Structure 1
Amino acid sequence: MIEPELFKFNPQLAKHSYLKKQWDKHLNSLDKSELIHSITVVLPDISFLPDDVENIFSENSQYYHVQNVTLGTIIDSVFIQSFVKNGNIQAVSLNTRIGVDDCMSISKNNLLQMFLLKNSYQNICLPVHGSNDEICPSSIASYFNEKGLIVNECFPRSKVVRRYNTTIPYSTDVTLLDTWLSYFSLDIKIDNKSMCLLPDGKLTKSNSRNVSQIIQINWSGFFTKSKIKIFIEILKKFMENSGNTLWFSMHLEPYSNVPYNCNHQTIVLNSDKTLFYSDCICAKNH
């Protein structure tokens, strides 16, 4: 009998932190967000979705899915000169796995980051350029199309869920609220009658209230931090005009295969013009 060879795989490093700020101090923290795959917003105790919230990604939010792009195409001198040196491009590899496949992303003002397999690393030589100028995404799509690659124009997909007669926590206990939002996203019922695995055991009359309706809307696609900042400003204005709203929350889910540390962020906007960040950093230990 042959004893199988055992390998030691260290667990992924993670750091979870909470931060409280004023509304006007949120921009620096949002700069950590890169290439978001999914945005989920929870709006409790409101009866309707305003048009500027529901349709935030209906215009100028298209992106392109290019099939079978090789690493050689990305580092081609024409591509670098036309779209990296003289433009501002953001991209991420799709359906790839770090440690098994070549993974790459272009972000942060044309910073190319890669996790490459040994053979790929030994066979490339990368030129380095950078710029902050804007460039039309359709021209990049045309470039790949002329090279014979399949290019599909994509748009964010949205899903709206409404739940009624629900108990929600106040935002003063951010750990309780963060855990409740996790349960809520998984459609696990939480009320003030049954015990559950919340930090305080269960919701009580002193740390929660009942609301008639909660609206949850999820967008999935390809989102940059500039769009997220605009969305935060729209939510702030909506909260100011909505009256008695306790809080709104936004969860940002990054692409999992990017070759840099991922920040899973939950942002809670409060009616007193403060916000909480729940920031979970998953470090790539490669």
Structure 2
Amino acid sequence: MLNPEVVKFPAPENFVSYSQHSWHDSHNDHSWQRVIDHHPFNTKVSLLLPDTPSLPEFLHDSLTTNTEFYLIKNLPVLEFCSPVFLQAFLKTGQLYAVSCKSLLDVDNTAALTPDGQLHLILNKFTYQELSLSGTLSAHILRKPLERFVVKVNMKEPSFKPGRPHYTTVTSAFTQVHLTFTFWLTWIPDDTGVCPSSIAKYFHDLGYSVEERKSSLSQSIVTEVDMPVLGKDGEDTDPEDVFEWIGCQTLGVHLKTEGTTVCEVVTPKPSTLVNNVCSLQCTGFFTPRQLSSLLSQLRLWLKQRSESAVPWLSMTVYGHPDSPINWGTSEHVYHTNGDNLYTLVILRDQLRLYKVSCSRKPQRMYVKSNKNK
């Protein structure tokens, strides 16, 4: 029997935005590039490639070469404050680190972004014990109020040994031993420096460091009715295109004619294509790697016949338990943690779908009726 109280909870909100962009726009108009750059922690990439019975070598290399990242176990946050670490890594490259074995709604979580911001979401006990300035989480309404946000800017001038702010932060992290298992990758500004230097640094300090690589899986559908986009004035509805991409990614069989409201029908107009490859790649991807992948997909598309490969799609999924998702915005909890985007790649344009959770606080308790 269903709990009768469940119906009293409001449904979580999310937003799907859609926009079209010409490849010939000036750089300042590349809002799609800002979407890629402002989505720091990416754990899965999904590609749909028509007329691709076998994975192209360039694509395999792009997704598996130089995409290594590191799993560092039981790493104290205090290590990020070390003067040696700040000078050698934080100030000389782009660093992405996020706690990977903690749940956002019940555990303490942490992330470090390339701009030098350390983001923490803490329970009430840890927050009070830490005694650093923070704020109540803005995206949840619950009783008791027990989730707090702490941010530390490690690139500001006052964050260095001898300064009061640095002393306050390091003293707090010394007294409260905050440790996490991190996914971490570092892109040095100097191309002559090996990115694995950061792994050696932590290994030499005695921490367990494991190199991880992305993994690939794929499936092929021999015949698919693919939505028509931008051809002789014909264009499938954007919502139907987005739904079609999701169905192909999940392996949902589409019906030619719908018989119930629950069935998903083939979008119209559509064209028959062969050997659609649905490729799933899991790992830890930086915005720079995804921008490079997009450029390679564009070049490959130009080399293919338009009738065989009308367009491609790339969907990027964010980490579901990272403290932030878009830019430096606080990530909401498991009421709705949607944070993904889909790029539909055509020869003359790009179409962007961005899925984000509501910025409105989500109520996690049943609102009482005082009139009863």
TM-score (norm 2): 0.66
- 1:54 is matched with 60
Separation in 2, partners of 1:40, 1:175: 18
1:274 aligns to what?
349
Q: Is there any run of 5+ residues in structure 2 with no aligned partner, and where?
A: 1-5, 25-29, 133-151, 158-187, 230-234, 327-338, 363-372
SS at match of 1:56: helix
Q: 1:278 to 1:127 in 2, by over 3 A?
A: closer
Aligned partners of 2:117 and 2:153 also within 8 Å: no
Which residue of 1 is the match for residue 23 of structure 2? 23
Q: Tell me by how many angstroms 1:112 deviates.
A: 2.1
Percentage of identical aligned residues: 22
Residues 127 and 269 of structure 1: is their aligned pair in 2 closer, same or farther, counting only changes over 3 Å?
closer
1:124 Cα deviation (Å)? 6.3
Residue pair 1:15, 1:280 contacting (<8 A) in 2 also: yes
Aligned to 1:3: none
Which of 292, 315, 327 is residue 230 of structure 1 equivalent to?
292
SS of structure 2 residue aligned to 1:37: strand
- Preserved contact between residue 45 and residue 214 of structure 1 (Cα < 8 Å): yes
SS at match of 2:155: coil
CA distance in 2, matches of 1:186, 1:227: 24
- Structure 1 residue 11, shift from structure 2 partner: 6.2
From 120, 126, 132, the equivalent of 1:120 is 126
The code of the aligned residue for 1:267 comes to: L
Q: CA 1:138–1:63 in 2, change beyond 3 Å: closer, same or farther?
A: same
Counterparts in 2 of 1:197 and 1:137: CA distance versus 1, 3 Å: farther
Shift of 1:77: 4.1
Instruction: Report how far residue 57 of structure 1 moved.
Output: 2.4
Shift of the 72–11 alpha-carbon distance from structure 1 to 2, 3 Å rule, reads farther
CA distance in 2, matches of 1:72, 1:10: 40
Equivalenced residues, count: 277
Write out aligned runs for 1:238-249 (5 A): 238-244=300-306, 245-249=309-313
Equivalent-residue separation in structure 1 for 2:208 and 2:110 (angstroms): 19
- Most deviating of 142-151 and 31-40: 142-151
Give the root-mean-square deviation of aligned CA atoms: 2.9
Pair member with larger Rg: 2
> Where do residues 179-198 of structure 1 align in structure 2 (5 Å cutoff)?
179-195=243-259
2:315 — aligned with what?
251
| Alpha-carbon distance change, 114 to 133 in structure 1, aligned in 2, over 3 angstroms | farther
Question: What residue is the counterpart of 1:260 in the other structure?
Answer: 324
Note the C-alpha offset of 1:139: 2.1
Paired AA for residue 23 in structure 1: W
Q: Which residue of 2 aligns with 1:129?
A: 155
Match of 2:173 in 1: none
Q: Does 1:213 align with 2:289?
A: no
CA shift, 1:217, in A, is 1.2
1:105 paired residue number: 111
**Deviation sequence 1:207-230 (CA, Å, 0-9, x none):** 112222101111100100101111
Secondary structure of the structure 1 residue equivalent to 2:322: coil
8 A contact 2:51–2:275 mirrored in 1: yes
1:38 pairs, out of 28, 35, 44, with 44
Instruction: Note closer, same or farther for the CA distance 1:237–1:86 as it changes in structure 2 (3 Å cut).
Output: closer
Q: Distance in 2 between matches of 1:124 and 1:143?
A: 29
Q: Tell me the amino acid that sits aligned with residue 280 of structure 1.
A: V
Give the secondary structure class of the aligned counterpart of 2:74: coil
Give CA-to-partner distance per residue, 1:131-168, whole Å, 9 cap, x none. Answer: 98456432221222223221101111111211112222
Distance in 2 between residues matched to 1:71 and 1:53, nearest whole Å = 36
Instruction: State the 1:170 CA deviation.
Output: 1.9
Seen in structure 2, the aligned counterparts of structure 1 residues 20 and 280 have a Cα distance that, compared at 3 Å, is same
